[in-house]
Structure 1
Amino acid sequence: MTDADKGTATADTPADEEREPLGPEDHTGDDLGTPGPRLSRRAPYLVGFLGGLGLLSAYAVGNAVWSIRSVLVQILVAFFIAAGLNPSVRFFERRGMRRSLAVLTVMILLLVAVALFLVAFVPVMVDQVKAISNSAPDWLDSLQRNRRIQQLNDDYQIIDKTKEYVTKGDFVSGIFGGALGVGLAVLGAVANMFVITVMTLYFLAGLDQAKNALYRLAPASRRDRVRKLGDRVIDGVGGYVSGAFVVALCAGVSSLIFLFAVGMGNYAVALAFVVALLDVIPMIGATIGAVIVTAIGFATDPTIGVICVIFYVVYQQVENYVIYPRVMSKSVDVPGVVTVIAALVGAALLGVVGALLAIPTAAALMMLTREVFVRQQDVS
């Protein structure tokens, strides 16, 4: 080839990078041979290997979630508290306050209310708990006069063991495993309350931003509907939390007035607080509170015990059919059987916290099922 031919080849022929890559048909026997077919994605070994990796990944994720379950419960409780306080924040926002200032106002009012409760009622409650502890041996002696109970005590020494346990000065510390256990339990409770309070503040302050960020994950064509459904769920949760507080407050105030009226003023504040606290627990909370008050009423005077039975039977009917439906009518719409099932499942999963959160969760799931799945089935 002459220099002219080389120049022509250089000018007219594409460079090496423009040459076609060699295909399988271009390989000769002098090369490494023609590549074989690709490994089938349905090969048993490959399927088993990828399936094993999936199982290991699922196990690792599940183990990680289980190890942080206490933190997840705190987050869940903080979210429900924030949802319950959100209507109060909106009340101040409608009066012209900024969101941050409204959140600060609500939290200050809440802390002031808690502080007033601690100052006004906790010392009285402590004294009344001591009075109940001091009176318990006398109550047990009065029970022991009953022939049937005396026979059971002779056989099993139930009353003697209970009296010995109650009269000990350290029976409260024994519940928690000694003085160190009491200190650790109190410290853990204070730490949990602090963490939940801080997370509640964050949820309240950034609730709108968090909702908008989640809603933007939905497709634009469905974003408006997702926003409306999400707002209804959050409003329902907030309404349930606020309503549960109102119902419990009614139970506590009613018990306080009743106990003063029947002559149990020495224990009225402590027992009314116990009734209000337990009334928050669905299904069984109000009954447990009534049983506690009635038992102390019988121990004080059988006539007072009978009056307690009548009062709480009547009050629970009023609460179940008058107070609760009126308070919760705009928040949750859950049939009775679903309420029972949800409370049982929630209690089995997360204990008391699960039972508290079960009903609004069930209401949200029922609403989403009705608005999404049932409507889709109706048009298909």
Structure 2
Amino acid sequence: MKKRNLWIYIFGITIIIIGLIKLDTLISMVSLLWNACRVLVFGAMMAFVINLVMAKIEKRLNFMKKGKRATSLLLSLILIFLFVYFLITLVVPSLSEAIGVIVQVLPKYFENAQKFLVDLFENNPQLANSINNLDIDWKNLIQSGINVISTGVTNVVGTTFNVVTVIVNSVFNFVLMFIFAIYVLLEKERFVQLYHRLTNLYLSETVKRRMDRCLNIINQTFSAFIGGQCIEATILGTLCTLGMIILRMPYPAMIGTLVGVINIIPMIGAYIGGAIGMFMVFTVSPIMSLWFLLYLCILQQIESNVIYPHVVGNSVGLPGIYVMMTVVIFGSLAGIPGMFLGIPTMASVYKIGVLYLNRKERLKEMNG
């Protein structure tokens, strides 16, 4: 047994040395492997999220003898589709209307600002005349800015042919992901049985027991995090909407929904949602936008100190300093998806590490 472990260590060290020497080749191979498997990986992630809803529905359908799995899956997909449709129909029309308001209203604010600067520098006639003589068509300037942004997005994607290619590939990959997710959900017991067969054959009972515990921790942490984030976003969005209705602010449903949904992004989501909401209110009333900012700051304090710790924090069990480190590191590596997935990943590693250290300490105390 010791000789076998020695050969395993030698083989592992050899692989590491070859990988370091041929680092460029290794990176290209990993990239090629990721491109080949990413649809399946994202499909499995989609299946995991759908299963959070599906498992709860399936428990409610215990009275059904046949077709329980297919029925619960269908109901889950319908609920998720209705939720996404609700978000799109609520946000997109109001956002389009707000952009139109911005094009109409902002020129007046710029003109008023120009007059304010002229009055402010009345003691400096040369500077006041220079500001007053600025002949800027603010409406065309804003419209040109919007066109430049649109053109920039188009240029990033590419030509018309490339745009069509990207859209077709994206739709095709999404269909493949969806089909794979459906297959995984319908046959999930088969994958679990395959895992148990392989681990029973090739792993010792102790190693298998530890691996089962680690996988259970990972599953519980991700489930708690995703479910907690959705509940917390719903509570925050509802409170934001109700507060804006009471304070008679514009776009309450749209801004409340945006604040709740974007707040799913850890740490920076609240600031992004607040900035968008403040800008939307600003198009109607600049003074009211300041009241909105004050209200949202108070709401964020309640959310950070009361709602989040009880709904998400306790279930994930990751100290605040580790959350900060995770968001910075995973955000720089993978952007917003990295921020979102990094926290439950780090929480899982943290819990497994705590169990490992506790076991080591107990063994040390027993041997000492």
User: What is the distance in 1 between the residues matched to 2:100 and 2:228?
Assistant: 37
1:127 paired residue among 64, 87, 93: 93
Distance 1:285 1:147, change over 3 A: same
Q: 1:314 to 1:98 in 2, by over 3 A?
A: same
The aligned runs of 1:91-170 (5 Å cut-off) are 91-95=56-60, 96=62, 101=67, 103-117=69-83, 122-144=88-110, 145-147=112-114, 163-165=142-144, 168=147
Higher helix proportion (structure 1 or 2): 2
Structure 1 pair 346/261, CA: closer, same or farther in 2 (3 Å)? same
TM-score w.r.t. length of structure 2? 0.73
Give the deviation of 1:275 after TM superposition.
Answer: 2.2
Deviations, residues 300-356 of structure 1 (Å, cap 9, x unaligned): 212321221122111111211222222225531111110011111111111111111
Q: 2:272 aligns with which of 275, 282, 288?
A: 288
Farther off after superposition, 63-72 or 369-378: 63-72
Matching residue of 1:241: 226
CA contact (8 A) 2:232 2:312 kept: no
Higher mean displacement: 159-168 or 126-135: 159-168
CA contact (8 A) 1:143 1:149 kept: no
Distance 1:352 1:50, change over 3 A: closer
Q: 2:335 aligned to 348, 351, 370, which one? A: 351
Find out whether 1:201 has 2:182 as its counterpart.
yes
Q: Which amino acid aligns with 1:139?
A: V
Residues 236 and 360 of structure 1 are in contact (CA less than 8 Å); yes or no, is this contact kept in structure 2? yes
- In 2, Cα distance between equivalents of 1:367 and 1:275: 31
2:306 to 322, 329, 349: 322
1:308 aligns with 2:292: yes
User: Residue 336 and residue 298 in structure 1: after superposition, are their counterparts in 2 closer, same or farther (change >3 A)?
Assistant: same
The one-letter code sitting in structure 2 at the alignment partner of 1:112 is: I
Seq. identity, %: 18
Distance 1:279 1:107, change over 3 A: farther
How many angstroms apart in 1 are the aligned matches of 2:192 and 2:166? 35
Say whether residues 1:230 and 2:211 are aligned partners: no
Work out the CA distance in 1 between the residues paired with 2:236 and 2:225.
16
What does the per-residue CA deviation read over 1:118-168, in whole Å, with 9 as the maximum and x for residues that have no partner? 6555345443222112111233224312259969x979x896785133565
Distance in 1 between residues matched to 2:322 and 2:234, nearest whole Å: 25
Q: Counterparts of 1:19-58 in structure 2 under 5 Å? A: 55=20
Aligned residues: 328
Look at both structures and tell me which one has the larger radius of gyration over its CA atoms: 1
Corresponding residue for residue 190 of structure 1: 171
Contact 2:50 2:76 in 1 (8 A): no
The reply on whether 1:64 has 2:42 as its aligned counterpart is: no
* Matched residue, 2:127: none
Aligned-residue CA RMSD in angstroms? Answer: 3.8
CA distance 1:372–1:180, change in 2 (3 Å)? same
Cα deviation digits, residues 194-233 of structure 1 (max 9, x gap): 3332333344344444345445153123323332331122
- 4+ aligned runs moved over 6 Å, structure 1: 49-52, 97-100, 148-151, 157-161
TM-score normalised per structure 1: 0.71
- Alpha-carbon distance between aligned partners in 1 of 2:259 and 2:30, rounded to the nearest angstrom: 35
Alignment gaps of 5+ in structure 1: 1-48
Query: Aligned with 2:205: secondary structure?
Result: coil
Distance in 1 separating the partners of 2:217 and 2:194: 17
Please say if residues 46 and 178 of structure 2, whose CA atoms lie closer than 8 Å, have aligned partners that are also in contact.
Answer: no
Whole-Å separation in 2 of the counterparts to 1:82 and 1:158: 52
Moved more, 282-291 or 117-126: 117-126
1:138 and 1:375, CA in 2 relative to 1: closer, same or farther beyond 3 A? same
Picking from 252, 274, 285, the partner of 2:237 is 252
Paired residues of 1:281 and 1:352 also in contact (CA < 8 A)? yes
User: Residue type matched to 1:193 in 2?
Assistant: F
Q: Describe the shift of the 1:103–1:51 C-alpha distance in structure 2 as closer, same or farther (beyond 3 A).
A: closer
Sort the Cα spacing of 1:127 and 1:315 in 2 relative to 1 into closer, same or farther, 3 A: same
Structure 2, unpaired ranges of 5+: 1-13, 119-129
Question: Which residue identity lines up with residue 146 of structure 1 in the other structure?
Answer: A
Q: Distance in 2 between matches of 1:99 and 1:275?
A: 42
Residues 218-259 of structure 1: CA distance to partner in whole angstroms, max 9, x if unpaired? 312332333233112212111211111222222333333344
Determine if contact 2:107/2:139 at 8 Å carries over to the other structure.
no
Could you tell me which residue of structure 1 aligns to residue 360 of structure 2?
376
**Equivalent residue in structure 2 for 1:83, among 19, 28, 48:** 48
Shift of 1:89: 3.7
Question: In the alignment, which residue of structure 2 is the partner of 1:12?
Answer: none
Distance in 2 (CA, whole Å) between partners of 1:347 and 1:273 is: 24
